[in-house]
Every structure is written in structure tokens, then in C-alpha cells.
Chains A and B, each alone.
Chain A
Amino acid sequence: MTPFDDIERFDELRRFTTGAMEPEERAQFEALLRRDPQLAQLAAEFGEVWSATASGLAPTVASRTRFDDVAPQLELAQPRSAWPRRAAAAAVFLALATGAWFAWHQSRSTANDVVELRAIPWNLPAPLPPETVAAPEVLANWSPVEEGKIRWLDSLDEARAVSAAVSRPIFVFGYVEQCPICQGFIRNEFQDPAILALVDQSVPLRINLLELDQQEMQTLVARRYPLLEMQNDRGEVLHTFGGMFAEVDMRAELERAVAGLAVPNWKSVQALGAALVKARSAEASGNFGEATGSFAELASNRELPKLAEAGTAGLSRVGAVAARLLEDARSSSPDDDVALATFGSSVEQFTGTPYEADLRAVLHAWKESGRFPALSAPK
């Protein structure tokens, strides 16, 4: 049995030895040591070892490893980001293929009182999945730098929506129109091609500080004036530029702020932005064929995960609309000719979607039998 067996006081001994105890706690501990010679011996031995090892094991060093050294291997190690998009693309393909087969099959069969649905999510409640991203429709025809000039966004909400969609930080420039320092940045730094190349990796936002309310302006100016910082899409500050007033190494600060980020392919971003605009417009006008085409394009893209999610959600939403259409038709009077006609015209909206075949099969059966058919859920 050694003096240190069963001891549970190491954290306490350390605080005692290093003088970290509050005076009252220390007095109590010292009283305890006076009452307990064995503990006093332990404390003495602990103190000796503590003192003998005071030099440490190694000098403090800064790591030579840079994020750029690690980043390429991180890019290769993203198993979870690829498969949902592949799965979404595969699901779309599968739905289209089964839909086509079912249309062919139904056209060869006689009218049947039970229609077996292949694609419409009939057995599930059909809530409309919400939009997963705000509407950065500016993406369709915007990039941070065009023709040698920064194309500043002026709306914070818009900048945040773009930042969330493209996963790029927001480069915030808070300025005052008459301020010579701000004008100096605009005339010099923001014309420098090297700086423009760095801004191209962000979402540039300019804020006219005088247009803000007093308190908001003071909050921003307290961080830096002119305000130069990187924010995320939630408005949290990622990096505040060093230096006072005009004393800023803009290039070095931007390099720090975007180091390790790959340069976006803005042409590709614009194409996806256009697909999003098109999909939303088609969905809003009830042209679900065009909407699903564009949503499928978004869902299968590998560059912008947020827009891939928006595409997948859009496809689900159109499926839910189809399910609601069936539900509404079923709840109408069994022999209601108006309901049949309404259903028939609604089915046209789904031409070119994975749900078209299901809807046409129901329409066909309804017309043949004069009654809304029984439905069986997709297997």
C-alpha cells in the first residue's frame, strides 16, 4: 500500500501546489493537512514532483501545418456530400423509368377498378416540403467580379441568401459616401486585379453606414471604420480586417479570410441559379413538367449542396401536389362530371413529370368506370 493509493485529491493538490486556491479554501486545506499527516506527506511529495518537472517537456512551438496542406485531403474525404445527390438523381431516373413503363402497361390493360400507383406518394400524408433556401434569384445573372469591377450587393438579406446558397462568406464593406478613406479603397484597392481575384471567392456586400439607424451604425463602426470584415450567412463575424482607418493590407487580409477555399465556377453557379428561377416560376404557374425538369437538374448538381437540397425538396413538393390532387378528386362525389373534368385538366399540368403516368391511369379508369377508382399505394 503506497501513500498515493486511493487518492482522489489530485485536482485539489494541483490547485494547492500552484497557489490557485482561494484564501478560504487554502486555509481549510492547510488545516486538513495539519490534521492528516499522511495527506501532508502526499502533498509534499506531489509538490516535489511538481517542482522537479517545472521545466515542461518541450518548448512551445507553433505548428507548421497550414490549412492548405490539409484541405486537398478533406476534399477527398466527403463521403456524405456525394451520395444524397446521386441518390436523388437515381430516384428521379427510377421514377421516370417506372412511370414510362406504367404508362405503357396501363395503355395495354383494360379499365380496372383498382389503380396501382407507381410514383405518387399516396400512402403518406402529403405535407408540402418547405423551400430549403431563401430565394437568391440574383444568382442567375450575378458574379462577384464582372468586367474588372466588383459587383457589390446592396441588400444584406440578398447577400445572406446568396452566401447560404453558394457557401461563400460575405465580404462586408461599410462605407460613407463622402469619406476619403472609403473613396481611396474604391479607387485603388478595389481596382487591383489581385484583390479582385480574392473578392471573387466571396459575396461582396457594401453598406452605406449613413443609411443605417444610429445605433446600428455605431455598432458596426465600433468594430472597424471603414467596416471591412467577413461574415457568414447568419451575420456572425468570421474575420475583422486588421489596421486602423486606411491602414489595412487589403490583399493580405483577404488572403487570410479566403485561404483554403476553392474558387467557385461562377458560370456554373449562374446556370444553377437560372434553373432555380425557372423551377420556381414553373412551379408557381402550375407547369409541373418544366418545374420537375429544373428541380431534377438542381438535385443532381454536385457543386452547390444547398441548391441540390432545394431541387430534391422541389421534386417532393410536386409529388405532394399530385397526391393532393388525387385526394381532392377522391373526396368529390363519385359521379360528379365536373370533378372529372377538373381532374382531367389538372392532370395536364403534370405532363412530363414522374407522376403523369399515375394520374393518367386514374383518369383513364375514372372515365371507363364512371367512378373514381380505388388506389393502391406505391410498393
Chain B
Amino acid sequence: MEGSDAVLEPERAGRDAPSNTCVTHLGMLEFRALFEAERDRILRFLVHLTGNASDAEDLVQETFIAVWRKRDQFEGRGSAAGYLRRTAYHLFLNARQKQDRRHALAPASTEEPVCTPVVDFDDREAREVLVSRVRAAVDALPEGPREAFILFRFEGHSCAEIAEITGTPKKTVESRLARAIQILGERLKRQARELSAE
């Protein structure tokens, strides 16, 4: 028999209700409610960061287990949902560091990522091509700007929230975002020039 010491949070307030619970007060049943409410959002968050659904699924599990294991260490800042994202983000960084060490000797791609729009958005194939181009362009960004841009552009977080998740000052987040947009903007212009020259 599991040893939960409290019972679930209500669902009447929608799926956000458990996410607002304080992690330190989580019993097993409350934790389950949090899991059900946040699982898909954390997966999307991790798919955006990793670019790989399979790796993201693994990290979803690791995230929830880590949050449960370390719930006593939660300092009571913000919501459980925010704590989940911070944990997911740090697990992602750890996983990437390990991966980077494994692939340290692999040759880097010299191909320029393309991020020009594909016009026909109704065309499924064209859309997939565009998604992969955007992915490649974003992945080519330096590490800090890349994460900041993903969280800002695709996860919809404000600069203050990104600072909270990544544990960096807001000013740093803003300069990273500026860098990301500058790089992507220059790439767009260059590609536009190349296209017009052709």
C-alpha cells in the first residue's frame, strides 16, 4: 500500500488546479493529479528543447520522479508547475552535457540551416519541411540564446519566467534573446539576398 498522506487536489478548477499546489505538500494522490495535468505540457516543453520525442518522453519520466524525490527541497517559490519546468530544464541540460561528451569527436555539420518560409501552409509535406528547417535554424543557435528563444517563442514564456526556469538573471535572458533574434534575422536576410541573386 502506498503511503500517501493527503488526497488529491480538486479538478473543478480545471487542469491548472494541481499545478498551483505547493510541492512540499504533495501526497501521492496529489502528485498523480499534477502528473495528469502537466504531463503533456512537460512533454511539449522537452520536445521543443531536445527536438526528439523519444528523448523527451524519457525526460518526462525522469522529471516527475526527480520532483517527487526532491519535493522536500522545494523552497516554496512559485507553483508546482514552475518547479516541474525548472526540474525538466535542468535534466535536459544534464542529458545534453552527457550527449555532448559522447559526441565530442563527431564532425560538426557545415551545412547552413535554412529558415525561409514555405508559402503553402496547407500542404502537410511543405509544413513538415518548414518545421524541420526552423528546427535546424534554432538548433544552430549558440546554447544560451537557443534555450531562451525556444522558451520565449515556442513555449510562450515571458522573460521573467525564462529567468525563473533557467536560473539566470532577466537581463541575461534578454541579451540572449537579442542575440538569437539577431542571428536568425541576419540569416533570413542573407538567404533572401541569395534567393534574389539566383
- Chain A residues with a Cβ under 8 A of chain B: 2-5, 7-8, 10-11, 14, 45-46, 48-65, 67, 69-71, 73-75, 77-81, 163-164, 167-169, 230, 232-234, 236-240, 259-265, 268, 302-306
Contacts and interface: CB of A to CB of B under 8 A. Distances in A.
B47 A45 contact: no
Contact of A305 (B3, B131, B134, B174): B3
A52 B178 contact: no
Contacts of B181: 4, 45-46, 49
B55 to A, nearest CB: 12
Contact of B3 (A10, A53, A78): A78
A52 B116 contact: yes
A60 B138 CA distance: 18
A267 to B, nearest CB: 11
A54 B119 CA distance: 12
A16 B42 CA distance: 27
Contacts of A70: 35, 61, 64-65
6 contacts: A11-B158, A49-B185, A54-B117, A57-B150, A169-B8, A240-B11
B140 interface: no
A94 B31 CA distance: 36
Contacts of B44: 58, 60-61
Interface string B178-194: 11011011001000000
Given A4-B181, A167-B7, A53 B29 contact: no
Contacts of B3: 78, 81, 167, 302-305
B74 interface: no
B115 A167 contact: no
B3, B9, B68, B115 — most chain A CB neighbours (10 Å): B3
A260 B57 CA distance: 19
B102 interface: no
A237 B11 contact: yes
B28 A52 contact: no
Given A53-B115, A70-B64, A238-B8, A58 B51 contact: yes
Interface in B6-34: 6-12, 27-29, 31-33
Contact of A232 (B7, B131, B153): B7
B185 A167 contact: no
A61 B70 CA distance: 28
A237 B9 CA distance: 8
B57 A63 contact: yes
Given A60-B44, A67-B36, A75 B2 contact: yes
A49 B188 contact: yes
A69 B65 CA distance: 11
Contacts of A10: 152, 159, 174, 177-178
Given A45-B185, A57-B150, A234-B7, A262 B35 contact: no
A238 B159 contact: no
Nearest to B30: A232
Nearest to B8: A238
Contacts of A45: 181, 185
A233 to B, nearest CB: 5
Nearest to B192: A48
A3 B175 CA distance: 12
B1 A264 contact: yes
A53 B39 CA distance: 25
B131 A59 contact: yes
A7 B174 contact: yes
